[in-house]
Amino acid sequence: MRVLSVIPPMTQLNTPYPSTAYLTGFLRSRGIAAVQEDLALALVLRLFSRDGLLAIREAIAALPKQQRSPLVQAFERGFDRYLATIGPAVAFLQGRDPSIGHRIAGRNFLPEGPRFDPLDAYVDPDGGDPLAWAFGALGVQDRARHFATLYLNDVADVLRDAVDSRFEFVRYAESLAQSQASFDPLARALAAPLNLVDSTLRELTLAALARHAPQLVLVSAPFPGNVYGAFRIAQAIKLHDPAIVTVLGGGFVNTELRELSEPRVFDYFDYVTLDDGERPLLALLEHLGEGGQMRRAQDKLVRTFVRTGDGVRYIDAGEPDIPFAEVGTPTWDGLPLDRYLSLLDMLNPMHRLWSDARWNKLTVAHGCYWKKCSFCDVSLDYISRYDAATAEILVDRIETIIKETGQTGFHFVDEAAPPKALKALAVELQKRNRAISWWGNIRFEKSFTPELCAQLADSGCIAVSGGLEVASDRLLKLMQKGVSVEQVARVTHAFTDAGILVHAYLMYGFPTQTVQDTVDALEYVRQLFAANCIQSGFFHRFACTVHSPVGQHPERYGITLKSLPATTFAKNDVGFVDPTGVDHAALGVALNKALYNYMHGLGLDQDVRSWFSGRVPRTQVPRHFIERALQ
């Protein structure tokens, strides 16, 4: 049986999302004919091309003039320039035409829309280059990449205004799926006439079917922003040939569809599988059999939803998962690695790793070795089942991937890469004299000594990210994070001293967090930036999920959960009432504004209270706490 795995819109544009690479590599290791396509990238490249812009202009022409936003009108007026520059801009971001970067960097080549406005907000008092702080005198290529990224975002805004109000490069139509108790909003969207984005995706889907002639298509939806595209792909497949078997899986399914009972989902997908796909797919392939002959009874499927009459049935024969050491090596064969876009949407050197350059994504171990954090989905398989492989196997996979792709950059996508495994990896890389560069997510635990950090840097580590969350020892203890602010300071300083960039995941709005806690947390963060312990960060609002300890035992955290509606479709986020009554939304604006400035080296000597509108309490954190912790 020939299997096609596809990446639906939208994920990353700089590198393939790894789910299809893992599944394709595994299936091939079992002798199954498997291929893959990135329809997310294909969609963007088709829309952001000369033909795509011409199609957008046709869509605009069909709109009444009063419905054309100022942005769309400006696009119409400057259309000839957009048409002339879209090809060179995309080629430059793909690394195929670096020389055009000089013209792009000069800001006289690309048409500039609202996305460029912030560039002119800062004026150098000495009359110099206002962007020199970011790029320096020699950063022509980086400067051009940033401008070309802003240019694509401008065009995406036009597409959103004129064609599809849900269009985003990352969170495409996610409101149709995220924690949606009912399938109705998605069903209505799928029943609507095809717009330009939909029809383009349909054409690309049919072209992929023609190229590969699959009997089974696997669609991976890792995020809510992939779900609408995933269903449109399945819709196109079923209209083309209902005999092609379609399967939905991925991170969104694993977190939000665990109680799926909506039969209409199966108008598009024949099967929906939970958690790691290897074992469910083997069971399904045995059930379908070569040429469609039944071999395995349906009752022997593993972690799979199927439609039965007017209802939905969940089947799990309980077979163990494939050991991590035996899942094979992911392969990027078939994906157009030279066509991904190296975007530069944020100038911070650590933050840009997520969108800049192409990384081979690999996992050091399955699951999380800590699995105690109370805000995390620790009850789910992707966190709770920790399973590691030897350093020898891991480096064997690294060498196989380098041979296939010709690229030595790796992003380890673990929930938290284990210190012992990373140390063993460093030793094995040194033993084989293998040079790579890598980055990944860790916990800021005391095992990361200055000596280990130096060893990891020598093995190729260029950056790490980890959760400081709410920078409050009281709340870190309540979270069962297993770290303290002082410990985080020492660990992050050790990484920085080793030449490794550090990104901190930050949180606000955790149960019982007060305004005082929030102000104090920002003071800790300010001091960490000032001491060069961290170089990057991101504040996100705490969300309570049904699979986390907070969601399962709210009384332990002093909150009351709000009632959830009866659900047949997605279920994940759950609202709650915190008796502290803090307006976290208002505080979040100040936190993110302060953090943005800190990442650019600005405002580090400023009283943290000045970022907040209105009166906030004086910080209780000693002003030089981090400095003393590092002594």
Asked whether residue 266 is assigned to any structural domain, the reply reads: yes
Residue 619 main-chain phi, psi, to 5 deg: -65, 140
377 and 443 together in one domain: yes
Asked whether residue 609 is assigned to any structural domain, the reply reads: yes
* pLDDT score, position 294: 55
Tokens of 369: 């070795």
Domain end position, chosen among 292, 324, 356 = 324
35 and 58 together in one domain: no
Do the beta carbons of residue 343 and residue 149 sit within 8 Å? yes
Do the beta carbons of residue 328 and residue 25 sit within 8 Å? yes
Residue 255's identity, in one-letter code, is T
Could you list the residue range(s) of the whole structural domain that residue 151 is in?
Answer: 46-162
From the number of C-beta atoms within 10 Å of its C-beta (0-12, 13-18, 19+), residue 140 rates as middle
Output the pTM of the full model: 0.94
30 and 88 together in one domain: no
Other CB atoms within a 10 A radius of the CB of residue 270 amount to 21
77 and 153 together in one domain: yes
Closest residue by Cα to residue 468 from 429, 432, 495, 436: 495
What average pLDDT does range 435-446 have in this prediction? 96
pLDDT digits (tens, 9 = 90+) for 351-385: 788 888 889 999 999 999 999 999 999 999 999 99
* pLDDT score, position 355: 84
Residue 159 main-chain phi, psi, to 5 deg: -60, -40
Q: Residue 386: how many CA atoms within 13 Å on its side-chain side?
A: 11
Facing residues of 216 across strands? Answer: 3, 245
- Residue 248: pLDDT above 80? yes
- Rounded (10°) CA dihedral 101, 103, 108, 109: -80
Which CA distances in Å does 606 have to 504, 523, 538? 20, 10, 19
* pLDDT score, position 65: 92
126 and 193 together in one domain: no
pLDDT digits (tens, 9 = 90+) for 505-539: 999 999 999 999 999 999 999 999 999 999 999 99
What average pLDDT does range 410-419 have in this prediction? 94
207 and 257 together in one domain: yes
Other CB atoms within a 10 A radius of the CB of residue 242 amount to 10
460 and 493 together in one domain: yes
Facing residues of 183 across strands? Answer: none
Asked whether residue 311 is assigned to any structural domain, the reply reads: yes
* pLDDT score, position 323: 96
The domain tally of the chain equals 3
Other CB atoms within a 10 A radius of the CB of residue 573 amount to 16
* pLDDT score, position 271: 98
CA 280 to chain centre: 24
pLDDT digits (tens, 9 = 90+) for 252-273: 999 999 999 999 999 999 999 9
User: 133: pLDDT confidence band, cut at 50, 70 and 90?
Assistant: low
**What letter would DSSP give residue 193?**
P
Q: Across all residues in the chain, what is the average pLDDT? A: 93
CATH of the domain at 267: 3.40.50.280
C-alpha–C-alpha distance, residues 36 and 24, integer Å: 7
pLDDT digits (tens, 9 = 90+) for 55-91: 999 999 999 999 999 999 999 999 999 999 999 999 9
pLDDT digits (tens, 9 = 90+) for 219-233: 999 999 999 999 999
C-alpha–C-alpha distance, residues 15 and 360, integer Å: 8
* pLDDT score, position 132: 62
115 and 25 together in one domain: no
* pLDDT score, position 134: 58
* pLDDT score, position 631: 83
Tokens of 106: 């000069």
Task: Render the burial of 246-260: b for 16+ CB within 10 Å, e for the rest.
Answer: bbbbbbbbbbbbbeb
* pLDDT score, position 118: 83
Domain end position, chosen among 133, 162, 191 = 162
Facing residues of 467 across strands? Answer: 505
* pLDDT score, position 135: 59
User: 617: pLDDT confidence band, cut at 50, 70 and 90?
Assistant: very high
pLDDT digits (tens, 9 = 90+) for 4-49: 999 999 988 999 999 999 999 999 999 999 999 999 999 999 999 9
Do the beta carbons of residue 303 and residue 283 sit within 8 Å? no
User: 125: pLDDT confidence band, cut at 50, 70 and 90?
Assistant: low
156 and 178 together in one domain: no
Closest residue by Cα to residue 355 from 6, 11, 8: 11
Asked whether residue 329 is assigned to any structural domain, the reply reads: no
Strand segments, DSSP code E, in 536-603 are 536-541, 560-561, 576-577
